Structure 1
Amino acid sequence: MTVQLPSQIVVERFLPTVRSMLAAELAARGFAQREIASRLGVSQAAVSGYLSGERGGEERFAEHPRMQATVERIAEGFETGRMDDYEALAELLELVRDFEDRGPICALHEEEMPALEGMGCDLCVRGRDRAVQAEREVLSNVRRAVRTFANAPGVAAHVPNVGTNVAMTLPQAAEETDVAAVPGRIHAMRDGVNVPANPEFGASHHVATTLLAATAADPSIRGGVNLATSDALLAAVPEPFEVAAFDADYEDRRARLASLFESGVPQVLYHEGAFGIEPITYVLGGSAVEAVARATDLVARAEET
């Protein structure tokens, strides 16, 4: 993949298309090739190429109703004398801006640079949005963490029946919609795990609740993953890590965790379950990647015992 500016698409794809269409429209209205060349700012040979079809354009531009209407309006303006070059340029610039803002130029740009998918126009038209950039970084971090988790040996045995989730908060997160996680959770499947979808914001409740309480107490803690509580897993926690237990009850959990975290946020947090509630251990870290690294290390240690 190469870095490409939207202006390159304008020059290399849009401009040849609109010139070809204007040349054909003006020729149909009786303009001579020399006059067309003068109007378009190209050579007469180029006009000949446009009219013979040797210089084709971008189909999605040529078939767009807004493009067709603009070309017809400019050609008619030239024919009747009601439009000069300045006004024609204004028409084309307006069309380019329209096409760049979630239009066909934006679509082509995203195809050329997949990293822009879903946000190309937000970057190119509206400029860098720090909030959008933060969301992008969080989603990327969770995706990397999920891949690490899914490929780690032995993790399937430590996935709870309710499923595992890998999550990360935005900076200064306050609500569940500020937390990115895997929709539908990660579930054990034979000797491996199944990841049903890419991470999204607002896709977690329980891991998000734990993370929101943790990051409110310590903003450096933004990532977490849940595993099934077991004696082997807890015994595998290395000595420098802090471990804390809490009540499994869901009622007022966030407030109770906030109270627990007043004395500091542990790296490992667990409960032993209750009626209808499976025992769960939460491994926390500065990011989803860090939390998963800690969790997979615990799993490896537990498997060795």
Structure 2
Amino acid sequence: MSLVLPSELVVDRFLPTVRAMLATRLAERGLTQREIAAELGVTQAAVSKYVGGESGGDDRFRDDPETVATVERIADGLDGGEMDGYDALAELLSLVRSLEDRGPICELHEEEMPELQGLGCDLCVRGLDPDVRAERDVLANVRTAARTLASIPGMADYVPNVGTNVGMCLPQPRDETDVAAIPGRIYAMGGRIEIPANPEFGASKHVATAVLAATAVEPEVRSAINIATDDDLLEAARTIGIDPLEFDADYEDRGEHLRARFDERGAVPRVAYHRGAFGIEPATYVFGVTAVEAADLVEALLETAAT
């Protein structure tokens, strides 16, 4: 693992780019290279390189509207005397905090540390606290589960026309924004499973409804995966000791209906299904304590159905 601090990226990539942008803007306003060097706290030789376009830098910052606006504001302030070094520093520190919050600095950080990708990392903004760790763990679990589904032989045959999704909620979820899933759903194409994006919270109302219904009855059951209803898979569930629960597809409040059916059973079944209705595709939900557990159960069902 490559351990890279966001502050390293600020020093190595952000600061040289912004200095070059400021030097150019101040030169355009008529300041001499010596005056610019004094304002920026760099040598006149450095300013010459900045103004001559020899400083390199990162286009992500040059093209970022917030960075451009901040640089223009600082350049105007320094040129007009409304700002001093303290004011300019305050503007830049505020900009850095903003760019660390899912901005270009965050993007660069994920490139330097691929382990952060898809985790919704916001350590720079919120720090390491229990809530952040819980969110990170859920996102990582959903991502692993999605990859597991993609690796299951024959899985593409059990992806509904509306797509498959895998969802997992935080402990004690309040609503669907506390359920992580794959944006745009998982779909089959040419016999392969395609995962269009990394998981996000609030990405799927459909699977979130099933997850929230399950965890309301059994708090430890925090994940669900939807697949196509298939008699061979239902029989496979019975073979491995699971009694699938059938529920009605045509209802007004799916969440309430599922909770009522789970209450009648006295527990959340690991497999629940419906046969569809007018305009509603038949669907089966596979539940688990975690997303990975639910994905492993899907794999076991497919393997059992194939034997």
Q: TM-score, normalised by structure 2?
A: 0.71
1:254 — aligned with what? 258
Distance change in 2, residues 1:8/1:71 (3 Å): farther
* Contact 1:154 1:300 (C-alpha < 8 Å) held by counterparts: no
* Contact 2:139 2:199 (C-alpha < 8 Å) held by counterparts: yes
The answer on 1:203 being equivalent to 2:204 is: yes
For 1:169-188, what aligned pairs fall within 5 Å after superposition? 169-182=169-182, 185-188=185-188
Among candidates 281, 285, 290, match of residue 287 of structure 1: 290
Question: CA offsets, 1:38-66, max 9 Å, x none?
Answer: 66555566566556665455564598242
* Contact 2:169 2:223 (C-alpha < 8 Å) held by counterparts: yes
List alignment gaps of at least 5 residues for structure 2.
Answer: none
Give the drift of 1:110: 1.6
Q: Give aligned pairs, total.
A: 291
Give, in whole Å, the separation in 1 of the partners of 2:104 and 2:40. 26
Give the drift of 1:162: 5.2
* Contact 1:168 1:224 (C-alpha < 8 Å) held by counterparts: yes
1:5 — aligned with what? 5
**Matched residue type, 2:216:** A
Coordinate RMSD, CA, aligned: 4.1
Give, in whole Å, the separation in 2 of the partners of 1:16 and 1:178. 39
Question: CA offsets, 1:178-220, max 9 Å, x none?
Answer: 3333455445555444556654525242x43332222122222
**Matched residue type, 2:153:** P
**Matched residue type, 1:203:** S
Distance change in 2, residues 1:72/1:148 (3 Å): same
Mark the structure with the bigger radius of gyration: 1
**Matched residue type, 2:171:** P
1:146 — aligned with what? 146
Distance change in 2, residues 1:107/1:302 (3 Å): same
1:100 — aligned with what? 97
1:73 — aligned with what? 77
The answer on 1:225 being equivalent to 2:225 is: yes
Q: Percent identity?
A: 42
Distance change in 2, residues 1:125/1:74 (3 Å): farther
Give, in whole Å, the separation in 2 of the partners of 1:118 and 1:257. 34
Give, in whole Å, the separation in 1 of the partners of 2:191 and 2:184. 19
Among candidates 290, 297, 300, match of residue 297 of structure 1: 300
1:64 — aligned with what? 68
1:214 — aligned with what? 214
Give the drift of 1:168: 1.8
2:167 — aligned with what? 167
Distance change in 2, residues 1:92/1:177 (3 Å): closer
Distance change in 2, residues 1:74/1:287 (3 Å): same
Give the drift of 1:146: 2.2
* Contact 1:283 1:291 (C-alpha < 8 Å) held by counterparts: yes
Distance change in 2, residues 1:259/1:4 (3 Å): same
Give the drift of 1:258: 3.7
* Contact 2:250 2:277 (C-alpha < 8 Å) held by counterparts: no
Residue aligned with 2:261, SS: helix
Give the drift of 1:301: 1.2
* Contact 1:210 1:257 (C-alpha < 8 Å) held by counterparts: no
Q: TM-score, normalised by structure 1?
A: 0.72
